[in-house]
Chain A
Amino acid sequence: DAEITQSPRHKITETGRQVTLACHQTWNHNNMFWYRQDLGHGLRLIHYSYGVQDTNKGEVSDGYSVSRSNTEDLPLTLESAASSQTSVYFCASSAQDSTDTQYFGPGTRLTVL
């Protein structure tokens, strides 16, 4: 069965370190998204991609970057982790059409000390 996976599921890091969160989907979807979930804010879009070599900034992109070198993967990098980036991060993917459902991964809980 097709799926979307995230790793690691839990991560503790220190302020200033670079951190990369992995997202891998086997749906062969063109669209991929990264969200962060914080209490009282729901999910907010960090970055998204509509295909290989395409990346776009979302609502809360400062301090984050992504790259899309193949269809299956969209890693999220925190260049210099800050305590404000402590959050739960979700990756999602969807097919080409704007009406298509987004399928979510299980999430990565990141703590920045």
Chain B
Amino acid sequence: AQSVTQLDSQVPVFEEAPVELRCNYSSSVSVYLFWYVQYPNQGLQLLLKYLSGSTLVKGINGFEAEFNKSQTSFHLRKPSVHISDTAEYFCAVSGFPGGYNKLIFGAGTRLAVHP
């Protein structure tokens, strides 16, 4: 069965500092990997996704993530965060045999950016 572990439930960081949100997955098959962001009282919005090819994926709002197959990780990074990046971030995986396009989510990481 597929599963996703987000290693940090909360990450506090100061504005303009770099940040890394960690995500590990387990799956017996090839997977697609996603990062979603949820701003307060809103639905989820796609940040970026890895399907195949280059292991470094760039997304919206200056975020990027690196797929590491040997470590089964897909960590999200941003070199300099803003107050507006305060939100909850979810890592998700999809792929067979779970059924196509079904997402398995991690528990989420709450990013709090302080001035």
Residue A61 is within 8 A (CB to CB) of chain B in the complex? no
**CB distance B101 to A98 under 8 Å?**
yes
Residue B107 is within 8 A (CB to CB) of chain A in the complex? yes
**CA separation between A24 and B85, bound complex, in Å?**
29
**CB distance B101 to A41 under 8 Å?**
no
**CB distance B100 to A98 under 8 Å?**
yes
Residue B32 is within 8 A (CB to CB) of chain A in the complex? yes
| Interface residue stretch chosen among B11-19, B39-47, B61-69 | B39-47
**CA separation between A99 and B101, bound complex, in Å?**
7
Residue B94 is within 8 A (CB to CB) of chain A in the complex? yes
Q: Which of B42, B90, B107 contacts A40 (CB 8 A)?
A: B107
Size of the A side of the interface (Cβ < 8 Å), in residues, is 25
**CB distance B43 to A101 under 8 Å?**
no
> In the assembled complex, which residues on chain A have CB atoms less than 8 Å from the CB atom of B45?
104
Residue A106 is within 8 A (CB to CB) of chain B in the complex? yes
> In the assembled complex, which residues on chain A have CB atoms less than 8 Å from the CB atom of B104?
45
**CA separation between A33 and B105, bound complex, in Å?**
13
1/0 per residue A82-113: CB within 8 Å of B? 00000000101010011111101111000000
Pick 12 A–B contacts, CB within 8 A, sort by A: A40-B9, A42-B6, A43-B105, A92-B44, A94-B101, A98-B95, A98-B100, A101-B49, A102-B46, A102-B103, A105-B43, A107-B42
For the complex of A and B, the 9 pairs showing the least CB-CB separation, nearest first, are: A98-B100, A104-B43, A42-B105, A104-B44, A42-B107, A43-B105, A98-B101, A106-B43, A99-B51
